[in-house]
Structure 1
């Protein structure tokens, strides 16, 4: 069983339980006062194990399933057996820290969902195969185009606000996926830049 599958299984089990148990949900979401007053720092990670509803969970886990399996071997080969889970947990932490800092005095703020880390996985994959075609709902498009549209949409929605989605975490997660992967193997950047100019090779 791959690390990607294990992450999906754990996330699904915890999310299902939390959707049936409000106290468990409240104990796991990112809630700044719990971190500031009670030092519940685990929430900076555990928020990624719970989701708002089944649709939210399904979208994140399907994305993780398709792209995580494709790049897991890369992190394992460099960082060892825990390489991919380390990368994934780092994505959860890196993507939520700006949100936490911004809302650390806001007792009415909560955040949940694995979207930030999943964005990191997606954008890391884009470095290896930018022209690989994927289905977005029912529309086929290359990963690089989806990544560009994703960034533009997330920036727009983050500035507009009002939909209760942490678009900032999506952007920070995407940045993390790119930065972390290139830091591990700097030669990936020139490979990506070359691949972008040659659609037929991906």
Structure 2
């Protein structure tokens, strides 16, 4: 099977999100609600929030991205971490990406966050680190991965400072950074590969 772990994560996320769409109680139990962690020690929410989504569009965007890039990253990590190493990377990315948000809002009873975007960003940026000139299609327009990465980070920083929408841009940024850091720690030589490929554009 092609990248079985990615497909299992995708299937579980779709199933849980689908169930939560029609079950408000389930959704409220799984999403990130800081007071529940602070007061009730429901630390599992630091992971479970990554398996529920706001709507089908939110879910579809994350899962399509995971499908196309997760398969490559899973195969890339397998020689170093084994068959299930990608699971550890993905789950840890969910936690790391949300931690700054949790710490910032841990006393805010009105705050909620959900979605796999932080972990998906980690997967995407691990891929970009190895294939900086691969083409990423944005609204059907091909964009070099490294260009997309710069625009993505810049936009996320700007939107995070604006704070005008309901998107957790902080999780996107921390997830992206974690994806790069994790990959470099796993295989330090990837920095040389990245720089060499960056200096030799190939589409």
TM-score tier, shorter chain, comes to over 0.9
2:91 and 2:200 map into 1 onto residues whose CA distance is 33
* Runs of at least 5 residues in structure 1 that lack an aligned partner in the other structure: none
Residue of structure 2 in register with 1:105 after alignment: 107
Cα shift readout 1:91-124 (whole Å, capped 9, x = no counterpart)? 1010000000000010110000000000000000
1:192 aligns with 2:194: yes
Superposition TM-score, scaled by structure 2 size? 0.97
Match of 2:157 among 155, 158, 164: 155
1:16 and 1:173 map into 2 onto residues whose CA distance is 24
Tell me the TM-score normalised to structure 1 length: 0.98
Where do residues 117-196 of structure 1 align in structure 2 (5 Å cutoff)?
A: 117-196=119-198
Deviation readout 1:29-87 (Å, 9 max, x if unpaired):
00011101111000000000000000000000000000000110122211122100100
Residue 143 of structure 1 deviates from its aligned partner by: 0.8
Contact residue 75 and residue 87 of structure 1 kept, 8 A: no
Pick aligned residue for 2:12 from 10, 13, 19: 10
CA RMSD of aligned residues (A): 0.8
Aligned to 1:70: 72
Question: What's the offset of the Cα at 1:134?
Answer: 1.8
Displacement after TM superposition at 1:139 (Å): 1.1
What residue is the counterpart of 1:27 in the other structure?
29
